[in-house]
Structure 1
Amino acid sequence: MRKLLLTCLLCLVAAGSTTAFSNSGDIYDQKLEEGIEYFYQTDWDKAAVIFNELKSRDREDPRAYFFHAMIPFWEYFFGGNSPKVAQDFLERSQSAIDISSERLNENPHDTTMVLMLSGLYGYRSLVAASEKNYQTAIESGMTGFRYTRQLLALDDDDPKALIGKGIFYYMVGTVPKELRWATNLMGIRGDKQEGLSILEHAATSESYVSNDAKMILSYLYKTEGMYDKALTHIEDLCYRYEENIIFQFNYAEILEKSNRQEEAKAAYRTVVELQNSHLDTLKEQSKEKIRNL
């Protein structure tokens, strides 16, 4: 469930981050998209070079800072919980938060900044809790929730807001009935099916964020045991980001859960054969799966 949540959070913020909002210019935006493409292909060495270049070019644009911070974040959760990698993320994310906060102060209605800050504080809470730094975890979680509440008030027609609301409604809908009184007391309501429907609407939009909605839906449907629907979305993602070892691994897992064993073994072999120096744990897990299937 933890990896489900963090993946949904990343998709949410990525949806906003790819929208041009600064005065950095077309060249900056083109380089940013190139870096994001490398990031989603899990070619993080090339992505880091581009993000560092963009940080030097425009120190007031938080988008490159955000994605540069996401490299150790994904490496921490998908590649082993290294304290050194956790510290690297906390330092990079603080820089992204500082710059994003300044931008939001200048324009309180900036959707992208709300999305970034909501996600960044949520990520910091997850990492800090995993590292048993509970004070930072609690403070970050509470601050992130404040931005999430602000997110829910955004324009319903904005695909970025649709993704945020869909995730939030789904997550609230997963709260056990015996604990619903607590969410009701806080004025928080949500329904899993409503959340999925909102995300499906975002997935069919003409916006760039449709890919991010598909990413989220593939994870949620897998969790719900709705494997045919999960496969529809993960297949699209694997086709677009064929070098993304995380997407390919999840594609293999969904095939396995669908009792399509031979196809799953072939998909796990694809994971093993991918050239990736950051997520060897997924390759080792795939080898184990192949032996056991």
Structure 2
Amino acid sequence: MANARFPALSLFLILFMLSLCAESMASDRNSNEALFTDERLHSAILAFYASDWHTAQDLINELKDDHPGQPTVYFYDSMIPFWAYFFAGSQPEDARNFLQRSERAIDISERHLRTARNDTSTVLLLSGLHGYRSLVAASEREFRTAIRSAMTGFGYTRQLLALNSNDPNAQMGRGVFNYMMGTIPSEVRWVTSFAGLSGDREAGFAQLEEAAQADSYVSIDALMILTFLYLRDGEYAEAKRTSARLVELHSENVIFLYHHAQSLQQLGEHEQAAAYFQKVVALDHEKLKQLTQSASKQLALLTEG
């Protein structure tokens, strides 16, 4: 059962910030003190995890006014459309909104890092933001943006690897980079070859699987991206395995339930798939109506068949 404080939707890489150790968050504590003691940040994060996006956005907007130049606020601001796009509909307007907001978040984070070079948490944010941009751009077939973002994000990931090569966050970044570079379409592969970059899809999966074993929040993030990529690549047995772990951890998370149902459906386990689609329909999450509608359609197909 999901933690009652976060009754809905944990997200691939959204728990990224909460996985930062106390030392990382304290590396530039003085300049961030006012933000991290502001109760509205805690309330915004709670609303975000509960997918109460209206409340979260209102609080984030207030925090942006009162704490300008703080990367954490802009990170969460960009994550709302990322979540909506990547796990609940893939609407082009959500992609555009995310790319615009994340560009702003990156600009704020880079300026902050220039004045606080030892702020490891901001390096983590930049690694994640560029990684998200690479995935969204690739999904929208904007491959040049995807490559550029992956390259830049991996630069920040290298900084994390230099600090601790076994850091699960670093493994996550390395896994996404390897997967992206290893699956670039042939028509744009010359760009990566010219830059001297290469990737390895299988190595990417192995690194993400390693991150999924971590004893931290990043394991949830890794499981979510693994499930998404396994479904995308037609490896349905693997998707079933990773999504089952997610459902076990967060049994009322409609995104996890939906992806698990998809994997079961693709494997021909129709009765079980129908049961999970029914759970999604019954929960009827107000901010994720597209998932409810899609689950309802799949349920009708399965029960009619």
TM normalised by structure 1 equals 0.76
2:211–2:219 contact (8 Å) kept in structure 1: yes
2:231 aligned with 1:222: yes
Q: Does 1:11 align with 2:20?
A: no
Mapping of 1:189-204 within 5 angstroms? 189-204=198-213
Aligned length: 280
User: Distance in 1 between the 2:99 and 2:190 partners?
Assistant: 34
Q: Give 1:51-66 correspondences, 5 Å limit.
A: 51-52=60-61, 54-55=63-64, 58-66=67-75
Where structure 2 has 5 or more consecutive residues not aligned to the other structure, the ranges are 1-10
Q: Which string of whole-angstrom CA distances, capped at 9 and with x for unpartnered residues, describes residues 85-106 of structure 1? A: 5665466435423321222212
User: Which piece of structure 1 moves more, 268-277 or 254-263?
Assistant: 268-277
**Cα distance in 1 for residues equivalent to 2:209 and 2:264:** 21
More deviation, 228-237/42-51 = 42-51
The equivalent of 1:43 in structure 2 is 52
Question: 2:97 matched to 1:96?
Answer: no
Q: Is the 8 A contact 1:13 1:116 kept in 2?
A: no
2:82 corresponds, among 66, 73, 77, to 73
Which 10-residue stretch deviates more, 255-264 or 241-250? 241-250
1:281 and 2:282 aligned: no
Single out whichever of 209-218 and 86-95 deviates more from structure 2: 86-95
1:260 to 250, 253, 269: 269
Query: Deviation at 1:162?
Result: 0.7
Q: Structure 1 residue 195: deviation in Å?
A: 1.4
Q: Distance in 2 between matches of 1:56 and 1:214?
A: 35
**How many angstroms apart in 1 are the aligned matches of 2:52 and 2:298?**
24
Equivalent residue runs for 1:153-232 within 5 Å: 153-155=159-161, 156-175=165-184, 182-232=191-241
Pick from 275, 281, 284: which aligns with 1:272? 281
Secondary structure at 1:11's aligned position in 2?
Answer: coil
Percent of aligned pairs with the same residue? Answer: 39
Q: Does 2:152 correspond to 1:146?
A: yes
Specify whether residues 245 and 43 from structure 1 end up closer, same or farther in structure 2 by C-alpha distance, changes over 3 A only.
farther
Deviations 1:159-203 (A, max 9, x none): 111100011112222236787665333221222221122122212
Q: What TM-score comes out, normalization by structure 2 length?
A: 0.73
RMSD over aligned CA atoms reads 3.8
Shift of 1:121: 5.1
Is the alpha carbon distance of 1:267 and 1:103 closer, same or farther for their aligned partners in structure 2, counting shifts above 3 Å?
A: same
How far did residue 261 of structure 1 move? 0.3
